[in-house]
Amino acid sequence: MPRKTHSSKAGRSHRDAYHHGDLRSALIEATEALLAERGLAGFSLREVARRSGVSPAAPAHHFGDAEGLLTAVATHAFEGLTGALEAGNARGGADPVARLREQGVGYVEFALRYPGRFGLMFRTGVAGVRKDAALEQAAQAAFAVLEDGVRALLAAPRPAPLSAAQWQALLAIWSIVHGFAHLAIAGQLDRAPPPGVGPQESGLRAVLAGLLEQQLRGLQRIAPSGARRAPGARRRAATSGSR
């Protein structure tokens, strides 16, 4: 794509009136922006085409129909989430608690940065998004990163199946980041603001990190002995959360 970097709106130059360059990506981006602005109920194929500076018939060449586009967006979103979780792992270094905590921060930051994608990802089958092998695989890949993080925390490597208590731990951490993300997007976390922390997003991030730290220390107690590290961190975790 050497020719065209400016993903313009309607006013494309005469030079490239045809052959957009990377219309497929442009349509996906426009869809994400539209979903973030108006939600799934406000999505329309024509509006996406309009924002991409393209005729209403153009998207059909790449995605078949509206469902096809939304499914591609959801798949793309899961790939992005996988990347965010892996980046969190990297940020966390060697300590499994820190790795998983940063995965959680990455999860929520992804959801807040791309609420359009996030809202779509978990709506499979209900409306608009088609069940699709590529989509399911992308979703499974993201989940696997989280599961591996919990396995490392609990010293329960693959391929052994998780025990009931281990599965419960996985579910707890997933629920907490997923719920936090939803509540933050919905603006519900301003309902009872923390004493020391303002409603800014950076404060939110610190609260989340502290919350996860405490959560993970608790979960780690169900691991076989010897799996715990950084023993001095427990007291720190109990009082962190504000700045």
Judged by CB under 7 A, the chain residues 33 through 72 that form the site for DNA are 43-47, 53-58, 60-62, 65-67
Residue 182, contacted partner among DNA, a copy of itself, none, CB below 5-8 A by kind: a copy of itself
Binder among 22, 194, 205, 227 for a copy of itself (CB under 8 A): 194
Q: Which of 55, 137, 140, 202 binds a copy of itself (CB under 8 A)?
A: 140
- Map tokens 């591996």 to a residue: 148
Name which position in 105, 154, 170, 223 contacts a copy of itself (CB under 8 A).
170
* Neighbour-count burial of 77, counting CB atoms closer than 10 A to its CB (0-12 exposed, 13-18 middle, 19+ buried): buried
Q: Is 103 in the site for a copy of itself (CB under 8 A)?
A: no
Say which entry of a copy of itself, DNA, none residue 222 contacts (CB below 5 to 8 A, set by partner kind). a copy of itself
By C-beta, is 46 or 243 nearer to DNA?
A: 46
Contacts of 29 (CB under 8 A, 6+ apart): 7
Nearest to 223 by CA among 145, 162, 173: 162
Q: Which residue has the tokens 């959680």?
A: 104
Residue 178 makes CB contacts below 8 A (sequence gap 6+) with 107
**From a copy of itself, DNA, none, which one binds at residue 159 (CB under 5 to 8 Å depending on kind)?**
none
Contact between 75 and a copy of itself by CB under 8 A: the answer reads: no
**For a copy of itself, which residue of 1, 10, 17, 192 counts as binding (CB under 8 A)?**
192
**Contacts to a copy of itself from residues 18-57, by CB under 8 A:** 38-43
Q: Which alpha helices (DSSP H) does the chain contain, by range?
A: 23-38, 45-51, 58-63, 66-92, 96-113, 115-121, 133-153, 164-185, 201-220, 233-239
Handedness of CA 139, 141, 145, 148 (dihedral sign): positive
Q: Is 137 in the site for a copy of itself (CB under 8 A)?
A: no
When binding is defined by CB under 8 A, the residue of 141, 222, 227, 230 that contacts a copy of itself is: 222
User: CA-to-CA distance for 97 and 92, rounded, in angstroms?
Assistant: 8
- Which residues sit at the interface with DNA, rule CB under 7 A? 16-21, 23, 43-47, 53-58, 60-62, 65-67
